[in-house]
Structure 1
Amino acid sequence: MAPILDIQNLYKSYGQTEILKDINVAIEPGDFLVLVGPSGCGKSTLLNCIAGLEPITGGKLDIAGKNMTDVSPKDRDIAMVFQSYALYPTMTVAKNITFGMKVRGIDQATQDKKLKEVAELLQISPLLHRKPGQLSGGQRQRVAMGRALVRDPALFLFDEPLSNLDAKLRVEMRTEIKKLHQTLNASIVYVTHDQIEAMTLATKIVVMKGGVIQQIGTPAEIYNTPANLFVADFMGSPAMNLIPARVQRDGHGHRIEITRMKGEPLILADSRPLDLPQDVIIGLRPEDIAEAGYRSGEDVQQAACMVDMVEPAGADTYVVSQLGGKSVTARLHAETSALAGRELELAFDLGKASYFAPKTGERLN
C-alpha cells in the first residue's frame, strides 16, 4: 500500500534564507502524524507546503500516490482546520459546515446527509441554527472540524487547532480529536508546539528544530530513546534530566561519576555492555529517580542526595537536587517525607539511562 503522504528531499527557502532543509517523511493511511517543535522551527511552513499554500523550493510531495508538488490546494484532496477557526460570522453553524459543499455544486440531499452525520459525530446537532458569535471556543472548533469532515478527504491537516482554548478545554478537545481519529481511521497531519499534545495524539511524531527534522518515531520511541539532547530536553514534562558525568570502564560495565556542590562525587554503576567515551551527558527521566524503597532491580543504585526544593503536584511530588552542576528532578510519590535542606536516599534506575556526546549532542547508546 502506497503511503498516504510521501515527502522526499523537500526544501523551502525565502530568498537566500532556508526555512526547511531536506525534509523526508512518509505516513501510512490511518496514521496520526504530529509535527512538533519550538516556535520558528518550520512546522507550520511544512504544513502549508503539504497544503499547497506555500510553493516548495525543491523536492517532491505525493498525496495518496499522486505527485502534488505543483498542484493547486483545491485539487490536493485535503481538508484543513486552522488555529483561528475561520468561520463565517453571518452564517449559521449548518451553513458554515455545508458552504464548501455548496460551492463545489454538491446536491442538497448529499449536503443534508453529510451535515447530519458530522453533527452527530461531533455532538453539535443542537447548535446547527446558531451563529459563531453564540458559541464557545470549543464549540467553534468543533464546527471548524465539521467543515473539514464533510469533505471526506484523503488527508486532514490541523494547524495548532487548540492553541486558542483554555487549559481544561484543550484537554477535552484533545480527547475528542483522539476519539475522532479512532472512529474514522482518518489520515492526519497535526501541528503543535505542545509536546504533551504530541505525545497524547500521535501514532508518529516528527520533532523539528531550525527547519531540520531531529527525530521521527512513535511517542514511545521519542520519549524513551531520544536521538539527541534537543529531543531529550524538549519532549517530556518535566524534561529529561541531562547531567554531565565522567565514565570509567569497570569490567563489562561502567563507573559513572557525577560531581556535587559539596562532598564526594556521586558514583553510580551501569552494568550494560556499552561503548562510552570518558565524558558524557547522562539522561534520566524524573520517574527513573525514585525514593529508596520504591524502586528495585539489578540496575537500580541508591545514593543520598541533598534536597534543594520540594514541589507537591497532586499525585506526584517533585524533588530537586543539584548534581553535576544541574538541577535534577525526581518524581516521587505524593506521601514522601522529603524536606528541603535535608538529605534523601534516592534510587537511580541506570537501566533506563540514555547517554549523549557533550559536543555533538548525539545519542551514544
Structure 2
Amino acid sequence: MAPILDIKNLYKSYGATEILKDINVAIEPGDFLVLVGPSGCGKSTLLNCIAGLEPITGGAVHINGKNMTDVSPKDRDIAMVFQSYALYPTMSVAKNITFGMKVRGVDAATQAAKLAEVAAQLQIEPLLNRRPGQLSGGQRQRVAMGRALVRDPALFLFDEPLSNLDAKLRVEMRTEIKKLHHNLGASMVYVTHDQIEAMTLATKIVVMKGGVIQQIGTPAEIYNTPANLFVADFMGSPAMNLIPASVRRDGAFHRIEIQRDSAEPLVLADQRPLNLPDNVIMGLRPEDIAEAGFRAGAEVQEANCLIDMVEPAGADTYVVSQLGGKQVTARLHAETSARAGQAMNLAFDLAKVSYFAPETGERLN
C-alpha cells in the first residue's frame, strides 16, 4: 500500500536559521500521526509545510503519491482544524460548515446532505442556526471539525485543536476525535505538546526537538523503548526515572550500582545478555518500581529504600526516594503503608530497564 503522506528529506529555513532538518516520515492510509515535542521544536511549522501554508527549503511532500511541493493549499486535498477554530463570526454554524463546498461549486442538495450527515456525527444539529459567538469553546471546536469533515479530504491536519479548552472538555473532545478517526478510517496528522494526548490518539508518534526527529514509533514503542534520554524524559507522566549508575561485570550478569547518600550503594543484578559500558543512566518508569510483594517475576529484585515523600493521587500513591543523587518516583497502590522518613522494601523490575549512554544520551539496550 502506497503511503498517503510521504515526507522526504524536508528542510525549512528562515534566512540562515534552520527550523526543520532532514525530516523523513511516511504514514499509511488510516494512520493517526501525532507530532509531539516542546514549544519551538518545529512541529507546527512541519504541519504548515504539509498544508502548503509554508514553502519548504528542500526535500518534498507527497500526498496520495503526488508531489505537492509547488501545489497551493486549496489543491492539496487536505482539511485543517486550527487551534483558533477560524470560524466566520457573522455566519451561522450551518453556513460556516457548508461555505467551502459553496465556494467549490458543490450543488445545494449535496451540501444539505453532507451538512446533515456531519451534524449528526458531531451531535451539533441544535446549533446549526446559531452564530459562533453564541457557542462554547467545545461547540466551536465541533463546528471547526464539521467544516473539515464535509470536505472528505485525503488528509486531515489538526494544529493543537484542544489547547484552548479546559481539562475536562479536552478529555471529552479527545475521545470524540479518536471515535471520529475510528469511524471514518481517515488519515490524520495532529500536532500537540501534550504527551498524554499523543499517547492516547496516535497510531504513530513523531517526537521532535530542535527541528530534528528524535524517534518515530507506536505509542508502546515510544513509551517502552525510548531512543534517547530526551524521549525518555519527555514522554510519560510522571516522567521515567533516570538514575546515574556504575556497571560491574559479574560472570554472566551485570551488577548495577547506584550511590545513596546515607547508605550502602543499591546493587541490582541484570541478568540479560547486554554489553554495557562502566557508566550508564538507568531508566525505569515509576510503575516498574513497586512495593515488595506486589510484583513477581525472575527479573524483579527488592531493596530497602528510605522514603522522602508520599504523594496520594487517588487510585495510586507516588513515593519519592533519593537514588544516585536523583529523586526517584515509585508508583504504589492507594493503600500503601509507605510513610515519609521511614524505610521500606521496593521491588525493581529489571526486565523493564532502559540503559542510556551518559555522554550522548543514546539508548544502549
Q: TM-score, normalised by structure 1?
A: 1.00
* Cα separation, 2, equivalents of 1:342 and 1:293: 18
Indicate the residue corresponding to 1:203 in structure 2: 203
Q: Which residue of 1 aligns with 2:89?
A: 89
Residue-by-residue CA offset, 1:136-169 (whole Å, 9 max, x unaligned): 1111000000000000000000000000000000
1:215 Cα deviation after fit: 0.1
Letter in 2 for 1:275: N
CA–CA distance in 1 between the matches of 2:177 and 2:118? Answer: 13
Note the residue ranges of structure 2 that are not aligned, 5 or more in a row: none
**What does residue range 1-365 of structure 1 map to in structure 2 within 5 Å?**
1-365=1-365
> Match for 1:297: what amino acid?
G
Q: Distance in 2 between matches of 1:123 and 1:166?
A: 20
CA distance in 2, matches of 1:20, 1:57: 9
SS in 2 for 1:305: strand
Q: Distance in 2 between matches of 1:208 and 1:263?
A: 39
4+ runs deviating over 6 angstroms: none
User: How far apart are 1:311 and its partner, in Å?
Assistant: 0.5
Q: CA RMSD in A?
A: 0.5
Aligned length: 365
The alpha-carbon deviation at position 252 of structure 1 amounts to 1.6
| Separation of aligned partners in 2, 1:161 and 1:351 | 38
* CA shift digits 1:166-217 (9 cap, x unpaired): 0000000000000000000000000000000000000000000000000000
Deviation at 1:90, TM superposition (A): 1.0
TM-score of the two chains, using structure 2 as the length reference? 1.00
Shift, 1:249, TM fit: 1.0
Tell me which amino acid in the other structure corresponds to 1:80: M
Q: Return the offset for 1:261.
A: 1.2
Letter in 2 for 1:191: V
Give the secondary structure class of the aligned counterpart of 2:38: coil
Q: Secondary structure at the match of 2:120?
A: helix
Deviation, 1:263, is 1.4
Q: In 2, Cα distance between the equivalents of 1:358 and 1:308? A: 26
State the distance in 1 between where 2:360 and 2:16 align.
26
- Identity rate, percent: 86
Distance apart, 1:253 and its partner CA: 1.4
- Deviation of 1:259 (Å): 0.4
Distance 2:72 2:91 in 1: 27
Q: How many angstroms apart in 2 are the aligned matches of 1:268 and 1:20?
A: 42
Distance in 2 (alpha carbons) for counterparts of 1:291 and 1:139: 45
**SS in structure 1 of the partner of residue 111 of structure 2:** helix
Find the aligned partners of 1:89 and 1:15 in 2 and give their Cα distance: 36
Q: Matches of 2:270 and 2:138 in 1, distance apart? A: 49
Moved more, 85-94 or 210-219: 85-94
Aligned-partner SS, 1:226: coil
Once structures 1 and 2 are overlaid, which stretch shifts more, 216-225 or 125-134? Answer: 125-134
